[in-house]
């Protein structure tokens, strides 16, 4: 069982920022999917139970950015899948 959350990230300015944040979040044990949106200044993370907001915030902080996890919202997992996966029912 996983859950997906979306939250703002402060300090992103370019594609390199997106890559750095994505890599940092993927290193957190229990994170199964990461999508970072530069235009929306958000990260969407799918995680296993036990992965805390503090662990996510710590990874982002170590990468040089700030996560606003107080503004995190739950995302329906079906909305976080790609279009092809949705069309194929996966």
Q: Which domains does the chain have, with CATH numbers?
A: 3-88 (3.30.70.100)
The CA–CA distances, whole Å, from 11 to 2, 81, 84 equal 28, 26, 31
Q: pLDDT (tens digit, 9 = 90+) per residue, 28-87?
A: 999 999 999 999 999 999 999 999 999 999 999 999 999 999 999 999 865 545 666 656
3 state SS of 22? helix
Is the pLDDT at 88 greater than 80? The verdict is no
pTM: 0.84
- Are 60 and 20 in contact, with CB atoms under 8 Å apart? no
- Are 24 and 63 in contact, with CB atoms under 8 Å apart? yes
Q: What is the average per-residue pLDDT within 15-40?
A: 97
- Are 87 and 29 in contact, with CB atoms under 8 Å apart? no
């Amino acid at each position: 069982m996983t859950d997906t959350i979306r939250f703002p990230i402060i300090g992103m300015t370019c594609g390199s920022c997106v890559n750095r944040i994505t890599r940092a979040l993927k290193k957190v044990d229990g994170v199964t999917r990461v999508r970072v949106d530069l235009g929306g200044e958000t990260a969407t993370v799918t995680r296993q139970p036990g992965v805390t907001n503090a662990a996510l915030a710590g990874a982002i902080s170590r990468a040089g950015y700030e996560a606003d996890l107080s503004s995190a919202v739950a995302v329906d997992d079906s909305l976080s899948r790609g279009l092809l996966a949705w069309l194929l029912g996966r």
